[in-house]
């Protein structure tokens, strides 16, 4: 039996494929779990604050400021070392999310009894959330995300270290 693809058959294949793709992306966007095929890409388009508020505590800059001088709090900058050097919260550790494996010694030495506040650039940056997930996988529980990030910190002229 020989397969003959005519224009109508090709059109039908195209329409079915298009329908499946549109349905998959739509379902994935509106479903909290999504489909595993597209999960990472489509869910990352959702607002950071929506996705993080369910998994981690979100803290405002005003609230973080209350903990700034507290010895039982550790601020962690999730950005790259070069961004960290351009300006960071004084005393903050730099644990670059993208270079996480290079910081394992620091991760293992983090005190488990202290409050950890993680930040990155801004509410549009997802590095703090990604780092929080990684730290939680290492058993660190007391994690808060300052989702407004360093940009808002700078905008308010709060203390800043630069190299």
Sign of CA dihedral 140, 143, 148, 154: negative
Angle at alpha carbon of residue 154, lines to 149 and 160, rounded to 5°:
100
Q: Are 83 and 125 in contact (CB under 8 A)?
A: no
Q: What pLDDT does residue 105 have? A: 94
Name the pTM for this structure: 0.67
Compute the mean pLDDT over every residue in the chain, rounded to the nearest whole number.
82
Question: pLDDT (tens digit, 9 = 90+) per residue, 61-108?
Answer: 999 999 998 889 999 999 999 999 999 999 999 999 999 999 999 999
Question: pLDDT (tens digit, 9 = 90+) per residue, 20-42?
Answer: 877 776 766 665 555 444 433 33
Angle at alpha carbon of residue 133, lines to 47 and 115, rounded to 5°:
100
């Amino acid at each position: 039996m020989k397969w003959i693809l005519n224009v109508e058959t090709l059109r039908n294949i195209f329409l079915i494929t298009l329908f499946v793709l549109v349905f998959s992306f739509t379902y994935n966007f509106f479903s909290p779990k999504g489909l595993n095929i597209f999960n990472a890409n489509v869910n990352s388009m959702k607002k950071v604050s929506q996705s993080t508020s369910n998994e981690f505590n979100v803290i405002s800059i005003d609230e973080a400021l209350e903990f700034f001088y507290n010895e039982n709090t550790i601020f962690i900058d999730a950005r790259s070392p070069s961004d960290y050097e351009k300006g960071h919260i004084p005393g903050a550790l730099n644990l670059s999310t993208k270079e996480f494996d290079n910081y394992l010694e620091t991760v293992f030495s983090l005190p488990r009894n202290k409050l950890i506040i993680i930040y990155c650039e801004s509410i549009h940056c997802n590095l703090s959330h990604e780092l929080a997930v990684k730290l939680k996988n290492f058993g660190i529980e007391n994690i808060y995300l300052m989702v407004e990030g360093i940009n808002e910190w700078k905008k308010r002229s709060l203390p800043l270290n630069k190299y």
